[in-house]
Structure 1
Amino acid sequence: MEIALIVLGAIIVYSVATYFMQRKMVKTLTQEEFRAGYRKAQLIDVREPEEYAAGHILGARNIPLSQLRMRMKELRPDQPIYLYCQSGLRSGRAAQMLYRKGYRDLYHLKGGFKQWTGKVKKKN
């Protein structure tokens, strides 16, 4: 019982620390803020290719979180990077990964693609 409480406490501390670290690394934007700036930035959809094909924000490039480490060179560190995924979890992890590699101008969409009401493109 004691060990379970220690493990639970450690998980809670880790989750809270990760949340605050992520807030320092990446700015979470509302849909309106995101829409106002994404055309002047690198817009990256970090979902998997089949999710991207089912519908994505117009103008977004697909670099899945699972491939980001290998494809990081495709991103310019001197330009803002706007990230999104389905709900906001993967884009937050992507931002952490990019931040550790020296990228600083990072933003992600609050609520992710499932909250998006702007223009969407689907692959036929």
Structure 2
Amino acid sequence: MDLLDLFQKYWPILALFLWLAYKWWNSKRVVAMLPELKKNGAIFVDVRSAGEFANANAPGTMNIPLQDLSRRLGELPKSSPIVLCCASGTRSGMAKLLLKKNGYREVYNIGTWSKFLD
């Protein structure tokens, strides 16, 4: 079996690995940027459900569940950096796309909310 055969057979696993590696790298990058983002007036938004947020959350985060985000955009100024989190980084990734689509320029996905506690 040559390299091309291996790639054709295992490309979904490779794609998943690369996606997970990117999520890990990106969240580490955003964590390193937190002091600067805080200094620049960043708003920290947890897009988990209200129940998840009530159960546990990072201090200083506001809760706007993903399903409510599009109708609550007015609560988030476009002039401030926005840092998003959720349980795994998937919902906050979707929230980032929504905010970018609506003209927010500085939007960051930190991944899991517990990264604020690190």
Please list, as runs of the form range in 1=range in 2, the aligned pairs for 1:62-101 lying within 5 A after superposition. Answer: 62-101=63-102
Aligned partners of 1:29 and 1:109 also within 8 Å = yes
Q: Residues 31 and 115 of structure 2 are in contact (CA less than 8 Å); yes or no, is this contact kept in structure 1?
A: no
Q: Confirm or deny: 8 A CA contact 1:45 1:52 kept in the other structure.
A: yes
Measured at CA, do residues 98 and 117 of structure 1 come closer, stay the same or move farther in structure 2, by a change above 3 Å?
closer
Give aligned pairs, total: 96
SS of alignment partner, residue 44 of structure 1? strand
State TM-score, norm by structure 1.
Answer: 0.66
1:116 is paired with a residue of what secondary structure?
Answer: helix
Partner of 2:27: 29
Q: Which structure would you say has the larger Rg?
A: 2
Q: Counterpart of 2:77 in 1: which secondary structure?
A: coil
Q: Which runs of 5+ in 1 are unaligned?
A: 1-11, 120-124
Residue by residue over 1:57-94, the C-alpha shift from the partner in whole angstroms, topping out at 9 and shown as x without a partner, is: 10000000010010011000011000000000000000
Coordinate RMSD, CA, aligned: 2.8
How many percent of aligned residue pairs carry the same amino acid? 32
Deviations 1:12-39 (A, max 9, x none): 8xx99xx7xxx9xxxx331642542453
> TM-score, with normalisation over the residues of structure 2?
0.69
Gaps of 5+ in 2: 1-11
The aligned residue for residue 47 of structure 1 is 48
AA of the residue aligned to 1:72: L
AA aligned opposite 2:46: D
Distance 1:45 1:34 in 2: 17
| The structure with more helix, counted as a fraction of residues | 2
